[in-house]
């Protein structure tokens, strides 16, 4: 899978959508040299006006509101000469701070710390000490909670002369947010067949310096970064405790999503060797460790894949720049496309078992998939045509599909699952245990029988669960396997219960053989001559016309004339989804009573 990724970066200027809050002083200032005597008492009055707060997406974020304010004044030697702390309500404020007069003084304004004692004592006694102070450690929810009110931390400073006496400072201090605002606008390329199940953001700094430590190029008019090593940020890559992540944000199998979030600055640097967006990967991150850069992992689902995700690094552009800077807005437009050569994609193709489940003389099992699914050997092709045995939906008891009625029943050892045993017999069909729980969220992508709730020790002891998972857990086969979903059989996206013919509509399905009556053995190892061929991601599988057991008495039907395969998906409180076909038609996603006995073809986890 590939992604087209574009980033728009905007400085939060006074006229930007995510505008600056300005500390503006409305009165005039006395510029006479007589008032500039050094180290005399001085009262500085600030008139503070904040912009009208913007709508913070779905969260109650007051991006422009100043809720509380620290003002710290330093003389030209960098010594603290005055400070104040004020809280506000509304959008117009007045602040006064008692300091000392002098030339070349620096005034810092730090907003929305939420702590009146933050700079008590000598913690900020010099300008150097102030510059070294970081915010308290934040979690993801600090700025991205879906409830409550959040005030974004801001800071700014000016250098000015301070006259003795009472002064109203003209001009003002522009405070900038310590955080960046990032918007992810994600969609799926048309026709890709991908759905998005969730995402997680990593490389999120837990803290930041209150005072900006700008890059040498950061304040340039073009805003282009050039440094090739990590900048001086408050969160240290070597300290794992400085970092957080969003946790998995689950989505309801969507084809697009748009979300915005806030994060402290993270500036790993620029790699000028990158020439294409597909090269913006972990190996090319300038910082060490590489995964201290900010990135998003988007999780998806697609027919033919058992695992699928995209790892996309954030930054100032979609190639060279990995920096996420304070007071910038980034819009990342991502379109996910099929291209397995893209190294940003983590995927695993869906691997089907090499045969239906059959009795090997001591246990139920199945043949493993081909080492080269696109080019199976003659023996592997023959294995795919084994008839197999039947199961009621959610049952662990196998039933023969031959005129000789036989059942294959497990005895589960929960202490040592690999010591579980099997026995043969002829259990009455109507008394065989199967899953009767109603299930929920009906649909072809439903994984009900795969879920942990259906595969407990208690269920296994009661002869119920996902037969593929049971065979895996007890060591009857190597590897980890499960029953397929209805969606995994239905790459053509045929609607529930629809009948289609063996035409291009059913691609990648094609039939083989004459679909005439055949006879199988009780073990399910007979190789049948008719069925359907399924081709996904270059891998070919054959699904024989194994027939089925009917309800309620388990009568044998259609061996050699029809194929019936259970899935893990629940279609109603009494039915499950299955794949069904005969010589002239197919039901890619049909709903049948769970009492029917159909064959099972497992897929690898």
Residue 457: which H helix or E strand, with range?
helix 457-461
State residue 3's pLDDT score: 42
Same domain, 328 and 400: no
Name which residue leads in pLDDT, 442 or 216: 442
Domain that holds residue 230: 2-6+180-207+217-349
State residue 10's pLDDT score: 47
Same domain, 51 and 127: yes
What does the alpha-carbon distance between residue 220 and residue 159 come to, in Å, rounded to a whole number? 19
- Mean of the pLDDT values across residues 538-551? 91
pLDDT band at 20 (very low <50, low <70, confident <90, very high): very low
Same domain, 125 and 100: yes
The residue among 315, 602, 348, 335 whose CA lies nearest residue 483 is 602
Mean pLDDT of the chain: 86
Same domain, 464 and 572: yes
Q: Which long-range contacts (CB under 8 A, 24 or more apart) does 530-535 make?
A: 530/560, 530/561, 530/583, 531/385, 531/563, 532/563, 532/581, 532/586, 533/509, 534/352, 534/489, 534/508, 534/509, 535/508, 535/510
State residue 199's pLDDT score: 97
The answer to whether the beta carbons of residues 171 and 97 sit under 8 Å apart is no
Same domain, 254 and 156: no
Q: How many domains is the chain partitioned into structurally?
A: 3
pLDDT single digits (tens) 370-416: 888 778 899 999 999 999 999 999 999 999 999 999 999 999 999 99
The residue among 71, 88, 68, 220 whose CA lies nearest residue 160 is 71
* Residue the block writes with tokens 């998005």: 196
Residue 372 lies in a domain: no
Residue 442 lies in a domain: no
State residue 288's pLDDT score: 85
The answer to whether the beta carbons of residues 203 and 292 sit under 8 Å apart is yes
- Mean of the pLDDT values across residues 426-438? 96
State residue 11's pLDDT score: 43
Strand pairing category for 41-49 and 165-168: parallel
- Mean of the pLDDT values across residues 432-443? 91
The answer to whether the beta carbons of residues 272 and 227 sit under 8 Å apart is no
Residue 43 lies in a domain: yes
**End-to-end Cα, the chain, rounded Å:** 19
Beta-carbon-side half-sphere exposure of residue 352 (alpha carbons within 13 Å): 30
Structure tokens at 26: 């409305």
Asked whether the predicted pLDDT for residue 53 surpasses 50, the reply is no
Domain boundary among 159, 178, 197: 178
DSSP secondary structure letters along 354-407: SS--EE-SSSEE-PPPPSSTTS--HHHHHHHTB---BB-TTB--EE--SSS--E
Asked whether the predicted pLDDT for residue 190 surpasses 90, the reply is no
φ, ψ of residue 382 to 5 degrees: the values are -65, -40
The residue among 517, 506, 528, 502 whose CA lies nearest residue 583 is 502
Give me the CATH number covering residue 327.
Answer: 2.60.40
Same domain, 201 and 296: yes
Residue 589: which H helix or E strand, with range?
strand 585-593
- Mean of the pLDDT values across residues 428-435? 97
- Mean of the pLDDT values across residues 96-111? 92
Same domain, 158 and 247: no
State the pTM of this model: 0.71
Residue 212 lies in a domain: no
State residue 6's pLDDT score: 46
Structure tokens at 91: 């959008």
pLDDT single digits (tens) 496-519: 999 888 876 666 788 999 999 999
What does the alpha-carbon distance between residue 384 and residue 533 come to, in Å, rounded to a whole number? 10
pLDDT band at 133 (very low <50, low <70, confident <90, very high): very high
pLDDT single digits (tens) 245-277: 999 999 988 999 999 999 999 999 999 999 998
Same domain, 191 and 314: yes
Same domain, 156 and 199: no
The answer to whether the beta carbons of residues 404 and 462 sit under 8 Å apart is no
User: Which of 14-18, 413-417, 487-491, 577-581 comes out lowest in average pLDDT?
Assistant: 14-18
pLDDT band at 347 (very low <50, low <70, confident <90, very high): confident
Distances (CA, A) of 168 to 29, 311, 318: 6, 52, 46
State residue 353's pLDDT score: 95
State residue 59's pLDDT score: 36
- Provide the phi-psi class of 112: left if phi over 0, else alpha when psi is between -120 and 50, else beta: left
Residue 588 lies in a domain: yes
φ, ψ of residue 31 to 5 degrees: the values are -100, 10
Same domain, 151 and 192: no
Same domain, 345 and 400: no
Asked whether the predicted pLDDT for residue 425 surpasses 80, the reply is yes
Counting Cβ atoms within 10 Å, is residue 429 exposed (0-12), middle (13-18) or buried (19+)?
buried
pLDDT band at 147 (very low <50, low <70, confident <90, very high): confident
Give buried/exposed letters for 467-493 (b at 16+ CB in 10 A, else e): bbbbbbbbebbeeebbbbbbbbbbbbe
Same domain, 474 and 555: yes
Distances (CA, A) of 217 to 12, 173, 223, 225: 17, 21, 7, 6
Asked whether the predicted pLDDT for residue 301 surpasses 50, the reply is yes
φ, ψ of residue 506 to 5 degrees: the values are -90, 5
Residue 505 lies in a domain: no
Distances (CA, A) of 224 to 286, 370, 492, 551: 16, 52, 47, 71
What does the alpha-carbon distance between residue 233 and residue 43 come to, in Å, rounded to a whole number? 34
pLDDT band at 46 (very low <50, low <70, confident <90, very high): low
User: Which of 66-75, 365-374, 379-388 comes out lowest in average pLDDT?
Assistant: 365-374
Residue 550 lies in a domain: yes
- Provide the phi-psi class of 444: left if phi over 0, else alpha when psi is between -120 and 50, else beta: alpha
pLDDT single digits (tens) 451-460: 999 999 999 9
User: Which of 217-221, 393-397, 422-426 comes out lowest in average pLDDT?
Assistant: 217-221
Give buried/exposed letters for 257-272 (b at 16+ CB in 10 A, else e): bebbbbbbbbbbbbbe
pLDDT single digits (tens) 304-344: 777 889 999 999 888 999 999 998 889 999 988 766 666 67
The answer to whether the beta carbons of residues 227 and 217 sit under 8 Å apart is yes
* Residue the block writes with tokens 């790699």: 271
Residue 307: which H helix or E strand, with range?
strand 305-313
pLDDT band at 189 (very low <50, low <70, confident <90, very high): confident
Q: 220 Cβ partners below 8 Å, 6+ apart? A: none
State residue 235's pLDDT score: 94
- Mean of the pLDDT values across residues 573-584? 95
């Amino acid at each position: 899978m590939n992604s087209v990724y574009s980033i728009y970066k905007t400085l939060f200027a006074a006229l930007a959508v995510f505008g600056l809050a300005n500390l503006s002083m409305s009165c005039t200032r006395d510029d006479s040299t007589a008032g500039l005597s050094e180290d005399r008492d001085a009262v500085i009055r600030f008139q503070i006006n904040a912009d009208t707060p913007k709508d913070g997406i779905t969260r109650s974020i007051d991006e422009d509101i100043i809720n509380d304010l620290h003002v710290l004044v330093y003389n030209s030697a960098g010594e603290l000469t005055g400070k104040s702390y004020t809280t506000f309500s509304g959008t117009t404020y007045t602040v006064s701070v008692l300091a000392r007069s002098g030339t070349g003084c620096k005034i810092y304004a730090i907003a929305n710390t939420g702590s009146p004692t933050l700079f008590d004592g000598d913690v900020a006694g010099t300008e150097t000490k102030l510059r070294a102070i970081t915010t308290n450690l934040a979690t993801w929810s600090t700025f991205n909670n879906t409830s409550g009110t959040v005030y974004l931390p801001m800071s700014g400073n000016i250098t000015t002369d301070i006259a003795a006496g009472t002064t109203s400072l003209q001009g003002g201090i522009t405070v900038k947010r310590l955080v960046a605002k990032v918007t992810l606008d994600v969609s799926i390329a048309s026709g890709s067949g991908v759905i998005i199940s969730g995402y997680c953001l990593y490389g999120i700094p837990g803290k930041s310096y209150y005072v900006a430590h700008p890059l040498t190029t950061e304040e340039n008019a073009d805003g282009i970064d050039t440094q090739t090593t990590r900048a001086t940020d408050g969160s240290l890559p070597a300290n794992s405790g400085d970092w957080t992540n969003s946790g998995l944000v689950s989505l309801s199998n969507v084809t697009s999503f748009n979300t915005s979030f806030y994060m402290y600055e993270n500036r790993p640097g620029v790699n000028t060797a990158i020439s294409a967006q597909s090269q913006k990967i972990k190996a090319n991150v300038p910082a060490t460790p590489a995964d201290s850069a900010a990135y998003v992992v988007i999780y998806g689902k697609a027919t033919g894949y058992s695992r699928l995700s995209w790892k996309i690094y954030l930054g100032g552009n979609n190639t060279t720049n990995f920096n996420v800077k304070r007071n910038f807005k980034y819009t990342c437009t991502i379109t996910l496309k099929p291209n397995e050569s893209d190294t940003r994609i983590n995927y695993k193709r869906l691997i089907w078992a090499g045969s239906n489940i059959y009795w090997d003389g001591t246990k139920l099992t199945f043949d493993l998939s081909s080492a080269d699914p696109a080019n199976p050997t003659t023996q592997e092709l023959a294995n795919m045509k084994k008839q197999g045995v039947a199961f009621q939906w959610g049952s662990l008891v196998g039933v023969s599909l031959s005129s000789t009625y036989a059942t294959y029943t497990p005895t589960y050892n929960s202490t040592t699952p690999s010591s579980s045993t099997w026995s043969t017999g002829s259990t009455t069909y109507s008394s065989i245990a199967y899953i009767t729980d109603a299930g929920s969220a009906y649909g072809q992508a439903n994984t009900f029988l795969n879920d942990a709730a259906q595969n407990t020790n208690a269920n296994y002891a009661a002869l119920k669960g996902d037969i593929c998972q049971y065979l895996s857990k007890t060591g009857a086969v190597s590897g980890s396997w499960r029953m397929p979903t209805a969606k995994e059989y239905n790459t053509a996206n045929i609607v529930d219960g629809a009948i289609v013919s063996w035409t291009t509509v059913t691609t990648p399905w094609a039939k083989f053989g004459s679909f005439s009556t055949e006879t199988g053995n009780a073990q399910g190892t007979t190789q049948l001559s008719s069925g359907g061929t399924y081709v996904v991601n270059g891998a070919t599988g054959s699904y024989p016309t194994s027939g089925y057991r009917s309800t309620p008495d388990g009568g044998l039907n259609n061996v050699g004339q029809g194929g019936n395969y259970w899935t893990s998906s629940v279609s109603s409180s009494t039915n499950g989804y299955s794949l069904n076909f005969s010589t002239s038609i197919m039901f890619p996603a049909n709903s049948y009573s769970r009492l029917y006995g159909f064959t099972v073809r497992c897929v690898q986890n």
